[in-house]
Amino acid sequence: MVQKLIDWLDERVKIRELYASQMTEYKVPKNLTFPYVFGVLALITFALQVISGIILLMYYKPVIAHAFDSANYTIMKEISFGWLFRHIHAAGANFFLAIVYLHMFTGIYYNAYKKPRELVWIVGWVIYFVLLTTALTGYLLPWGQLSYWGTVVTTEIPASLADAPFLKSIFAAIGETISFWMKGGYKLEDLALGRFFGLHVLFLPLVLMALIGIHLFLVRAAGISNPDGYEIDKKKDTDKVVPFHPYVTLKEGAVAMWYLAIFFFFVFFNMSHFLPADNFEPADPLKTPPHIAPEWYLLGFYEVFRSIPSKFWGFIAFNLILVLLLLLPFLDFSPIKSARRRPLFFIMFIVFMFSSMALTILGTMAPTPTNAKLGMFFTALVFLFFLSLPIISFIEMGWSKIKGGQT
């Protein structure tokens, strides 16, 4: 039966040829390390988000009068297994960002952003940006206290441009316009909720789907990088490659099972981190909760923003970090790839990773003067990482010349 179906498809769309070219005859380096699995885990999480999101969409109501009840009563209590899909979606958002951060750190460590993979990195960066916007717009939808106040804080951030030391009135007008536009008025109301809903359930997921497709196409076109930093010629170096299926599929499939086991452990037994108690209280614009901070995946940027005494420069600093991340393939122009072969880069990578984590942890703490100083120190280290890349590149270009251009 299955054989007949495959024959039928093969006559029409050459399915066997497609399977062979994408699976059994598609070759990848045989020394790929564990962190190379994060791309596939991100794909799995995206699928979980789409499926659970579609189910939630059937019962959620995007108007202030019903949003909170539809999320917390209809979905959680009335619909069979509604709670399960809400848990999957809420935990999935956090797992998705965690996996994407790990995937980005892997790309940085192995310098997978370098020629010929610059476009893979750039499209990945756009995915990251769209993903953050998707998380931000989804956060408002349950209309709880945290959803409301978290979004108030985020939408007020562009207004900090008014703190500019020069061209004050122009920056103030730009900042306030962006802030007003994000909120859909002076206050978050039905207009904002409707817009956030439209963006979160349709526009942004469609954009993400298209971008992920382009990202995967580009990975296939450029070939996966190598942990040792050498480009493999798949035709000549036949002893250094293995077919994608069954070698990689089996290995990554096993990791995916472990990942899903951990994911569903949280979904069934430990959801208090992903659906915090404060958000089971309906949004009240007259009652500010004592601790409002953005979600953990934005805390690093938030700490950069708040530790710098001028709001204007804080705003510029965290946006600059985002831009520098995008420009990584051009800042690091050394011909040598992979932290394994680049001791100076390795040290700066550790500094960068440690500082990013420190900023995230500081973001959860009270804004005392000592914490602000620490925040500024780690912000400076993050900038030092980006600044060091062209310098390290120049030094390494000298080394590779000594070796006769061999990289």
In the block, which residue shows the tokens 């089996």?
250
Query: C-beta of 396: minimal distance to ligand HEM in Å?
Result: 20
Cα separation of the two ends of the chain: 53
Rg for the chain, CA atoms, rounded: 24
| Residues in Cβ contact with 48 at an 8 Å cutoff, skipping those fewer than 6 apart | 88, 92, 263
Considering beta carbons, is residue 128 or 274 the nearer one to ligand HEM?
A: 128
Eight-class DSSP state of 230: P
**Smallest gap, in angstroms, from Cβ of residue 120 to ligand HEM?**
5
Nearest distance from C-beta of residue 243 to ligand HEM, angstroms: 15
Measured from the CB of residue 381, what is the shortest distance to ligand HEM in angstroms?
A: 20
Q: What residues form DSSP beta bridges with 316?
A: none
State the DSSP code for 310: S
Which residues are CB-neighbours of 357 under 8 A, at least 6 positions away? Answer: none
SS3 241: strand
Reported as type and span, the H/E element at residue 352 is: helix 343-363
Helix (H) or strand (E) holding 242: strand 241-243
Binding site for ligand HEM (CB under 6 A): 36, 38-40, 42-43, 46, 100, 103-104, 107, 110, 112-113, 117, 120-121, 124-125, 127-128, 212, 215-216, 219, 224-225
Closer to ligand HEM by CB, 139 or 312: give it: 139
Spatial separation of the C-alpha atoms in residues 147 and 139, rounded to whole Å: 5
Output 149 or 332, the one with its CB closest to ligand HEM.
332
Q: Based on CB atoms, which residue is closest to ligand HEM, 53 or 82? A: 53
User: Could you give the CA distance from residue 159 to residue 85 in angstroms, rounded to a whole number?
Assistant: 36
In this complex, which beta carbon is closest to ligand HEM, that of residue 132 or of residue 162? 132
CB nearer to ligand HEM: give 120 or 232.
120
Nearer to ligand HEM, 42 or 382 (CB): 42
Q: Which of 128, 81, 97 is nearest to 267 (CA)?
A: 81
State the minimum distance, in angstroms, from the CB of residue 124 to ligand HEM.
Answer: 2
DSSP alpha helix (H) spans, 199-310? 204-222, 249-269, 296-307
Q: Locate 165 and state its tokens.
A: 């030391």
Q: Give 131 or 359: the residue with its C-beta nearer to ligand HEM.
A: 131
CB of 171 to ligand HEM, least distance (A): 29
Please state the closest distance from residue 100 (CB atom) to ligand HEM, in A.
Answer: 5
Whether omega before 285 lies within 30 degrees of 0, making that bond cis, reads: no
User: In angstroms, what is the minimal distance from the CB of 41 to ligand HEM?
Assistant: 8
* Nearest alpha-carbon partner for 183 in 149, 223, 225: 149
